[in-house]
């Protein structure tokens, strides 16, 4: 299977798995679908084909013999969930997780994708995959940290920013913690209240 983008290769194998499991993808995929080019290449390379039927009138994709051989070479779902839980219990580093898969004759790039029941070909590009993120945890983009802006008063000390008509529980906790810091500051002129950070997980 030949794709210039490794993510396209991963999605292509997910499409083959989907069809192999007996799920339906109507032929042809819509012109405006973001994975349309992947389907076109799978057809051109002989992994999937149109399934002509008399009834119902809608056609669908099917695996060719080549497509069946390709997915069966890397997809063995029996016992996969228990195998993944065993991998997690070992508390290995990400590199050792991939080595563990290789020692069992498994492809660390494809096995986590194909054997994760929550991974779908149509959403993999947007939401990722749980098994794959675990096995490749050290390759995930770092989470950005955004500091909370504090308004400074005339006295030079940090002061809380007051938001009117905002009564959520988290804000009340932050406000109470900051008031405690102000009390400490009053008793200790050299004390500076620590800043807080919001974690942006987008």
- Any domain includes 147: no
- Any domain includes 28: yes
What domain range is 29 assigned to? 6-72
Q: Are residues 85 and 126 in the same domain?
A: yes
Q: Are residues 65 and 95 in the same domain?
A: no
Boundary (domain end) residue, out of 72, 103, 130: 72
Q: What is the number of structural domains in the chain?
A: 3
For residue range 96-144, list pLDDT tens digits in order: 999 999 999 999 999 999 999 889 998 877 787 899 999 999 987 666 5
Which of 21-25, 153-157, 181-185 is least confident? 181-185
- Any domain includes 1: no
Contact, 124 vs 11, CB < 8 A?
yes
Q: What are phi and psi of 133, to 5 degrees?
A: -65, -35
- Any domain includes 124: yes
Q: Are residues 128 and 175 in the same domain?
A: no
Q: Which of 19, 87, 8, 90 is nearest to 48 (CA)?
A: 19
């Amino acid at each position: 299977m030949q794709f210039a983008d490794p993510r396209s290769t991963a999605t292509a194998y997910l499409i083959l798995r989907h069809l192999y499991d007996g799920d339906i993808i109507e032929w042809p995929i819509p012109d405006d679908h973001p994975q349309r080019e992947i389907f076109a290449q799978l057809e051109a390379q002989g992994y999937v084909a149109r399934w002509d039927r008399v009834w119902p009138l809608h056609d669908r994709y099917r695996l060719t013999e080549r497509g069946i051989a390709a997915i069966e070479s890397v997809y063995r779902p029996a016992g996969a969930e228990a195998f993944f839980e065993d991998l997690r219990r070992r508390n290995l580093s990400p590199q050792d997780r991939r080595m563990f898969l290789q020692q069992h004759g498994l492809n660390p790039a494809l096995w986590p994708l194909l054997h994760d029941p929550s991974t779908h070909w149509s959403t993999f590009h947007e939401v990722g995959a749980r098994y794959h993120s675990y096995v490749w945890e050290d390759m995930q983009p770092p989470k950005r940290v955004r500091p909370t802006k504090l308004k400074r008063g005339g006295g030079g000390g940090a002061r809380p920013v007051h938001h009117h008509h905002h009564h959520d529980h988290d804000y009340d906790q932050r406000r109470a913690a900051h008031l405690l810091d102000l009390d400490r500051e009053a008793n200790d002129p050299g004390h500076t209240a620590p800043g807080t950070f919001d974690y942006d997980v987008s």
